[in-house]
Structure 1
Amino acid sequence: MALLHRATVTPSKLDLIAGWLPGRRWHQGAAGDLERVAAFRFDDPAGAVGIETMLVRYGDGPVHHVPLTYRDAPIPGCDVWLLGTAEHSVLGKRWVYDGASDPVYLCALAGAIVAGTGEAEEFVDVDGRGTLERRAPAMTARGTGVPGGTVPPVEEIRRIEDHGDRTVVHVGSLRIVINRRFTDGDLPAAALAGRWGDHPEVILAYLSNG
């Protein structure tokens, strides 16, 4: 379960992404107003880190896949992956990172792929006193694995590489490929797929031995 608050975030998440995205090697499209296409969340079992996957685009340009984590303190040595900081009206100052650099996101992603799970249910604390309201998902995600599958330990990140429209993360014994833009293709054996509206299913990320 992902617990959300009715709050203002300054600057907004879209503003942070808009200032960061054009500097990525995998960015495509003209500058302009950035729009959110869809989003979903994973749950951090420890309840400490917010994990949100955002799909965004400029106008009719390609959709970009931007997983984010929200933390209450900086990750040592990860400044290069920091989008910026924001003030959350309920939670205070938040450090916003590219999920590719955050072991908590990578663990949630690998877990969803291997165990065949998907997005977390989202509940909004509507009054600050624990009254929860379920929020309908903006998109769905599904792993191709088997329920109860064992996830290899997500240990120290060894290397992060950008290859065209993909970010490849070497972490522990895993090689996690995050598709930043989407192309047609068969679904890999160990993957996370996503769907929103009437858009065909896309491959968000997968595990690779290559």
Structure 2
Amino acid sequence: MSTIHRTTMTPTKLELLTDWLPKQSWYVGDAQTPELVRAGGFRLDDPEGAVGIEFMVVVDTSAPEPVAYLVPMAYRGTALSDVPGEALIGTSEHGVLGTRWIYDGVHDPVVRARLRALLRGEAIPQHQNESDTPDPTVTVHGTDDGLDVHINRVLRPTEAAQEPSGRLVAGWTWPDGTAARGVLA
């Protein structure tokens, strides 16, 4: 099970994402420097214990209407080889673990494997901020035995009745405090 360390990261995840997010093809904002707030997410455990896996939802409040983004992230103690340059979100100094290479999870083989395991019902989503605590609000509707997994980068709320099978559904909170749920993958 993953351990959540109560420590500092320099730069923070939000600082790294503020620089990285506007450079992505799926970014729909027009601000060169988005104003990001944490809005939700969850973690998955790496059975080997080597890679930290977090699915973070951030909301960009710089636009007239806030936009929610899903950024799956891999935290590694060493750099990955054979990944495109845009896969690296950045590096950060972790107060306990030292230098962390933070990657966009869609390019990380461990993140992709654990997401497929979750969609097959073989992994348990973990609370984003608590060690060894399952997150029952993250649900899988049906199972997916296929290999093609699509990550929804820009999140849109859906009604519970509209949640299709074979989908990963989780919630986030808008800046005004309104709760939302939608299909993440």
Which category describes the TM-score, using the shorter chain as reference length? Answer: 0.7 to 0.9
Any idea what SS the aligned residue of 2:179 has?
coil
Return structure 1 stretches of 4+ with deviation > 3 angstroms. Answer: 121-124, 134-137, 183-186
Alpha carbons 1:118, 1:142 under 8 Å: kept: no
Which residue, out of 32, 41, 51, partners 1:39?
A: 41
Structure 1 segment 82-97 matched on structure 2, within 5 A: 82-97=88-103
Instruction: Determine the C-alpha separation between the residues in 2 that align with 1:188 and 1:110.
Output: 17
Alpha carbons 2:22, 2:34 under 8 Å: kept: no
Structure whose residues are more often strand by fraction: 1
Number of residue pairs the alignment of both structures matches: 171
TM-score by length of 1: 0.72
TM-score by length of 2: 0.81
Describe the shift of the 1:45–1:202 C-alpha distance in structure 2 as closer, same or farther (beyond 3 A).
Answer: same
Higher mean Cα deviation, 86-95 or 24-33?
Answer: 24-33
Any idea what SS the aligned residue of 2:110 has?
helix
Unaligned runs of 5+ in 2: none
Instruction: Determine the C-alpha separation between the residues in 1 that align with 2:130 and 2:59.
Output: 26
Which residue, out of 164, 178, 183, partners 1:188?
A: 164
- Which structure is larger by alpha-carbon Rg, 1 or 2? 1
Which amino acid in the other structure matches residue 204 of structure 1?
L
CA RMSD in angstroms, aligned pairs only: 2.5
Which amino acid in the other structure matches residue 176 of structure 1?
V
Task: For CA contacts below 8 A with separation 6 or more, give which structure has more relative contact order.
Answer: 2
Name 1:17's counterpart in structure 2: 17
Alpha carbons 2:21, 2:27 under 8 Å: kept: yes
Alpha carbons 2:41, 2:170 under 8 Å: kept: no
Instruction: Determine the C-alpha separation between the residues in 2 that align with 1:116 and 1:136.
Output: 13
Identity of aligned residues (%): 36
Describe the shift of the 1:17–1:135 C-alpha distance in structure 2 as closer, same or farther (beyond 3 A).
Answer: same
User: How big is the shift at 1:74?
Assistant: 0.8
CA deviations on 1:32-80 (whole Å, 9 max, x unpaired) are: 4211111211111111100011111221421011010000011112233
Which amino acid in the other structure matches residue 6 of structure 1?
R
Instruction: Determine the C-alpha separation between the residues in 1 that align with 2:141 and 2:117.
Output: 11
Name 1:177's counterpart in structure 2: 150
Alpha carbons 1:143, 1:192 under 8 Å: kept: yes
Instruction: Determine the C-alpha separation between the residues in 2 that align with 1:182 and 1:116.
Output: 24
